[in-house]
Amino acid sequence: MTVEAESLTATFTALADPTRRAILARLTRGEATVGQLAEPFDVSLPAISKHVKVLQKAGLIEQTRRAQWRSCRLRPEPLRDVVTWMEQYRDFLGDSLDRLDQYLADLQKGDRP
Amino acid sequence: MTVEAESLTATFTALADPTRRAILARLTRGEATVGQLAEPFDVSLPAISKHVKVLQKAGLIEQTRRAQWRSCRLRPEPLRDVVTWMEQYRDFLGDSLDRLDQYLADLQKGDRP
DNA sequence: TTTGTACTTTCCTGTGTAGTTAATTAACCG
DNA sequence: CGGTTAATTAACTACACAGGAAAGTACAAA
């Protein structure tokens, strides 16, 4: 398997869990510690810690240590890789996806926010 | 979990396997029987049959029976749901993703190819 | 009606993963 | 230092899943 394919596997595996998707959604509202991430869920802290690890391995989040807190932050690359992967279904999903094409072209030009 | 979230879980689970992603990619080049799908892979037919079943449950493919052959065809909805889910990361992935917004708006209007 | 073709299902094995509690590490604070 | 807080690691259970071999199903053709 190619490198990209392996990372896609890790990304989709990470996204396949509802708790992990909820963690990602939470992180769009800003950084959070593992404890803060765990709060809304009815599972133990170790369980969340493991989810965070899976997300980290997939490159979807980045953890920085500040004192005894681990602050988690979203990383965009794997989601962009998913968009890139979806590219091959452009014709299939419809011509409107050409707009996604344009988006990807902009990305390649380094046209970032 | 909501219905959409459950179907997203099934979709991402299906996409998390490289063999299944390869099967989907093959199907962009047209319909194929299970036997034809199995050909490029170094695994048994029952293994492929099970992969097909997972893809089917996720709604990513549709099987129609013709004599003793099962012809498989791609279904677009789950991939569109993934695009919709990615929507929430628009700000995060960059303003260029506004174009994806437009694509989704078109979809809602029933503006299909 | 037997034989062959195209799968699918069943049963089994090994491996991965989600969850738990309890123990451990790491850093800060009095 | 000792205690507290934040999070990870360890050890375990339960279950899902990828794979194979072998048996079963469904249709076609001789």
Q: Is the pLDDT of residue B17 over 90?
A: yes
Which residue in A21, A92, A33 sits closest to A58, CA to CA? A21
- pLDDT over 70, % of chain B: 79
The mean of the pLDDT values for chain A is: 84
Higher pLDDT, B51 or A92: B51
CB B21 within 8 A of CB B50: no
CA A69 to CA A2: how far, in whole Å? 36
How many contacts (CB atoms, under 8 Å) link A and B?
107
pLDDT at res. B32:
97
Q: Is the pLDDT of residue A5 over 50?
A: yes
* Residues B43-58 pLDDT 10s: 999 999 999 999 999 9
pLDDT at res. A90:
76
Higher pLDDT, A84 or B49: B49
Q: Is the pLDDT of residue B60 over 90?
A: yes
Q: Is the pLDDT of residue B10 over 90?
A: yes
Q: Is the pLDDT of residue A97 over 80?
A: no
Of B13, B18, B25, the CB nearest to A16: B13
- pLDDT over 70, % of chain A: 78
pLDDT average, residue stretch A68-82: 90
Check B99 against A96: CB less than 8 A apart. Answer: no
pLDDT at res. A105:
55
pLDDT at res. B92:
78
Q: Is the pLDDT of residue A1 over 90?
A: no
* Ordered structural domains, chain A, with CATH: 3-75 (1.10.10.10), 78-108 (no CATH)
CB B99 within 8 A of CB A102: yes
Q: Does the CB of B58 sit below 7 A from strand D?
A: no
Q: Would you place residue B20 in the very low, low, confident or very high pLDDT band (cuts 50, 70, 90)?
A: very high
* Residues B21-44 pLDDT 10s: 999 999 999 999 999 999 999 999
Mark out chain A residues that contact chain B at CB-CB < 8 A: 1, 5, 8-9, 12-13, 15-18, 21, 24-25, 28, 74, 76, 79-80, 82-83, 85-86, 88-89, 91-97, 99-100, 102-103, 106-107, 111-113
Q: Is the pLDDT of residue A37 over 60?
A: yes
B63: left (phi over 0), alpha (psi -120 to 50) or beta: beta
| CA angle (A57 as vertex; A51, A62 as ends), nearest 5 | 85
Residue type, A16: A
Which residue in B70, B91, B74 sits closest to B15, CA to CA? B74
**Torsions phi, psi for A92 (to 5 deg):** -70, -40
Of A15, A76, A94, the CB nearest to B112: A94
Q: Which residue of B has its CA nearest to A2?
A: B18
Q: Does the CB of B19 sit below 7 A from strand D?
A: yes
pLDDT at res. B113:
37
Contacts 24+ apart (CB under 8 A), A104-109: A106/B96, A107/A80, A107/B94, A107/B96
The count of C-alpha atoms lying within 13 angstroms of the C-alpha of B79, restricted to the half-sphere facing its C-beta, is 25
Of A9, A15, A99, the CB nearest to B100: A99
SS3 B17: coil
CA distance to A20, A28, A51, A55, A96, per residue, from A69 (Å): 20, 19, 17, 18, 44
